[in-house]
Amino acid sequence: MSTETQAETRGFETEAKQLLHLMIHSLYSNKEIFLRELISNASDAADKLRFEGLSSPELFENDSDLRINIDFDSDKNTISISDNGIGMTRDEVISHLGTIAKSGTAQFLESLTGDQQKDSQLIGQFGVGFYSAFIVADEVEVLTRKAGTEVSEATLWRSKGEADYSIEIAEKSTRGTVVTLHLKNDESGFAEAYRLRGIVKKYADHISIPVMMEKQEVPTTLDENEKDQTKDAEEKDVATEYEAVNDAKALWTKPRKDVKANEYKEFYKHVSHDFEDPLNWSHNKVEGKLEYTSLLYLPSRAPYDLWNRDAARGLKLFVQRVFIMDDAEQFLPLYLRFIKGVVDSNDISLNVSREILQKDPVVDSMRAALTKRALDMLGKLSKKKNGDDYANFWKEFGQVLKEGPAEDFVNKEKIAKLFRFTTTKSDVGNEDQSLEAYVSRMKEGQEKIFYIVSESEAAARTSPHLEIFKKKGIEVVLMHERIDEWLMSHMQEFDGKKFQDVSRGELDLGKLDDEEDKKLQEKNEKELEGLVKRIQKCLSEKVKEVRVTHRLTDSPACLAVDEHDMGSQMRKIMEASGQTVPETKPIFEINPDHPLMVKLDTESDEDRFSDLVAILFGQASIADNGQLDDPGDFSARLNKLLLELSN
């Protein structure tokens, strides 16, 4: 044998080795998914050949009957899954089987915890694919030839799923791929017709090409003459007769009434490579000006790369039942990137590309309709009497959905109805309040939706800005996720009610303030004009303004943000991303009824006055954003005051 045909031994990529180890040790409780994954890969190979064959029919090599065959040998303890799809070149074998050519692999591996149960769920999100074969096999062989290449240009790949694999030139008379699993001794039960057929029906009934197995003859009682005829037939080299085990009809092409819930769930696992059932789905056929079918799924768990906005996303695109591409992102906006599924159009060209999709008005119309359908699916889920499913969705995907108002002005109100927030009326840690529910509970005369943005729920609940609202029994929405301040810069109103940040600008309660409150406010402002000027002089470098407030009932002072200035949460986000942040100063508001302010107003020692003001400002800073600009100065002034009090 020449050196060209000798087997070459190559090491797996580090990430591939890690994933193989995890695969073998973490998925022991769900072993049969190996067949689902290998059939899914074979189906994808057939889809790709069907698409390539549109422009290059010679790739079919006079065999356009696409199929998947499953064979087993119980004596040799092997299973083979073969297809006559697109096949692979040597370089593609190395790329697909020797490495993990998937973005975010390192991030995925960093997410693993070492807990087998939790890690098996993560592996499901990542998509186990080919490597699942090693769950049941101690050696795997792959013989493959790319459609359109010579018989002598096939590739044979072998591995025991450890540190390395071998690869060599081989011959294969037909295009496509054969994956042969040498089963582990304790997995021999898989090399049995009844079990294999059951797994195919369970996991691959929806595959649009036939999954074939050797035809099973029904045992009958034979007379002597028939026995002789059977023996003669066996002695002749009769070709194996195969029959389709699966339904072999694309699930989305069936009427909804003919598809069972379990079939929808299994098809979801096929298109998403997820282990878990979807939370919900929407199957719809559109006829008229546009003709297309969509099947959209809502996953139950966020993928590990959800926050990577550049990660592959989108729907599987089919045109007239012909597979065109994975991850067609043009059909849904970025804030719905967690939606999985397929779309099959009769109005898009078969030779479409990603670039053409971006400019096609048909795609724009479909995108608008599919976005509405996805939001309607979420809306229906949110209205279910048992709210656990929607609560789970919000926990997993709520922050991504909050990107919606900035990206999708047309559907802003519909998206906002899906939001859930903690409020001052909800239990601690229970984010189950919709904006609709808040509006329905608004007090008589209340014209605005009041909210506060803070670093955490605990900080929001204890903010001094809520004191007047607690006193008057006015509900406030508590926002405490990193995205919230940015979100509210794109949310001016909901259901005709304007939003009001209770920590921004001068507080205006409108009709919720009676005339007596307003007169008292004016009186306090006049009486404390001198104190305000003295405090302003002490804090001139640190604040934009000092003013009397009526939002406080218990605290002596607080910091407010000017109407058009950036809040502390947004500042931190921008600073963390390396962006230049405009210089701003807070507004220092004082409570005219607090004993400390009465004390300050009568303090004649200017040094002591300055120390007290600095301490009050420090306290307000801690309550506002949890930090001090100069902790050393604050501590020195506080210690000085404590020593004076102890003497």
Burial of 232 (0-12, 13-18, 19+ CB in 10 A): exposed
pLDDT band, very low/low/confident/very high, at 380 (cuts 50, 70, 90): very high
Short-list 135, 110, 144, 116, CA closest to 20 = 135
Give me the DSSP letters along 224-254.
HHHHHHHHHHHHS-PPPPEEE-S--S-GGGS
Please name the residues in contact with 440: beta carbons below 8 A apart, sequence gap of 6 or more: none
Q: What is the pLDDT of residue 23?
A: 65
Q: Give, in degrees to the nearest 5, the angle at Cα 230 between 228 and 234.
A: 115
Q: What is the pLDDT of residue 298?
A: 95
Q: What is the pLDDT of residue 386?
A: 73
Q: What is the pLDDT of residue 354?
A: 78
Q: Which has the higher per-residue pLDDT, 528 or 195?
A: 195
Please, are residues 566 and 453 in contact by the beta-carbon 8 Å criterion? no
Question: DSSP class of residue 447?
Answer: -
**Distance between CA 39 and CA 384 in Å, rounded?**
36
Query: Position of tokens 């900035």?
Result: 406
pLDDT greater than 70 at residue 210: yes
- 10-62 pLDDT, tens digit per residue, is 887 766 677 677 666 665 567 887 898 899 889 989 999 998 998 899 999 99
**Distance between CA 98 and CA 56 in Å, rounded?**
29
- 274-289 pLDDT, tens digit per residue, is 878 999 999 999 998 8
Short-list 198, 240, 248, 245, CA closest to 73 = 240
Retrieve residue 166's tokens.
């071998």
Please, are residues 342 and 268 in contact by the beta-carbon 8 Å criterion? no
Q: What is the pLDDT of residue 190?
A: 95
pLDDT band, very low/low/confident/very high, at 145 (cuts 50, 70, 90): very high
Q: What is the pLDDT of residue 2?
A: 39
Q: What is the pLDDT of residue 235?
A: 47
Average pLDDT, the chain: 85
Long-range contact set of residues 368-373: C-beta below 8 Å, sequence gap at least 24: 368/410, 369/286, 369/290, 370/294, 370/296, 370/315, 370/331, 370/332, 370/343, 371/332, 371/333, 371/336, 371/408, 371/411, 372/411, 372/414, 373/282, 373/284, 373/294, 373/296
Average pLDDT score over residue span 587-598: 89
**Distance between CA 185 and CA 103 in Å, rounded?**
35
- 235-259 pLDDT, tens digit per residue, is 444 567 899 998 888 899 999 999 9
Angle between helices 261-272 and 193-203 (to 10 degrees): 90
**Distance between CA 343 and CA 352 in Å, rounded?**
14
Q: Which has the higher per-residue pLDDT, 480 or 98?
A: 480
pLDDT band, very low/low/confident/very high, at 99 (cuts 50, 70, 90): low
Enumerate the β-bridge partners of residue 69. Answer: 82, 212
Pairing of strands 242-244, 340-345: unpaired
Q: Which H or E run contains 483?
A: none
Handedness of CA 232, 236, 239, 245 (dihedral sign): positive
- Secondary structure (H, E, C), 539-550: CCCCCCEEEECC
Question: DSSP class of residue 335?
Answer: G
Burial of 121 (0-12, 13-18, 19+ CB in 10 A): middle
**Distance between CA 96 and CA 254 in Å, rounded?**
33
**Distance between CA 199 and CA 193 in Å, rounded?**
10
**Distance between CA 18 and CA 31 in Å, rounded?**
19
pLDDT band, very low/low/confident/very high, at 5 (cuts 50, 70, 90): low
Q: What is the pLDDT of residue 490?
A: 92
Q: Which has the higher per-residue pLDDT, 432 or 421?
A: 421
Phi/psi at 16 (nearest 5 deg)? -65, -40
Enumerate the β-bridge partners of residue 504. Answer: 561
- 148-199 pLDDT, tens digit per residue, is 999 999 999 999 887 788 999 999 999 999 999 999 999 999 999 999 999 9
Q: What is the pLDDT of residue 135?
A: 86
**Distance between CA 206 and CA 194 in Å, rounded?**
19
Query: Position of tokens 């002072």?
Result: 557
Short-list 590, 616, 468, 464, CA closest to 530 = 590
Q: What is the pLDDT of residue 237?
A: 46
pLDDT greater than 70 at residue 122: no
> Which domains occur in the chain, in start order?
8-216+240-244 (3.30.565.10), 251-394 (3.30.230.80), 420-510 (3.40.50.11260), 515-646 (1.20.120.790)
pLDDT greater than 70 at residue 268: yes
Pairing of strands 78-83, 292-298: unpaired
Sheet with 315-319: strands ordered across: 280-286, 292-298, 340-345, 315-319, 322-328
- 393-403 pLDDT, tens digit per residue, is 999 999 999 99
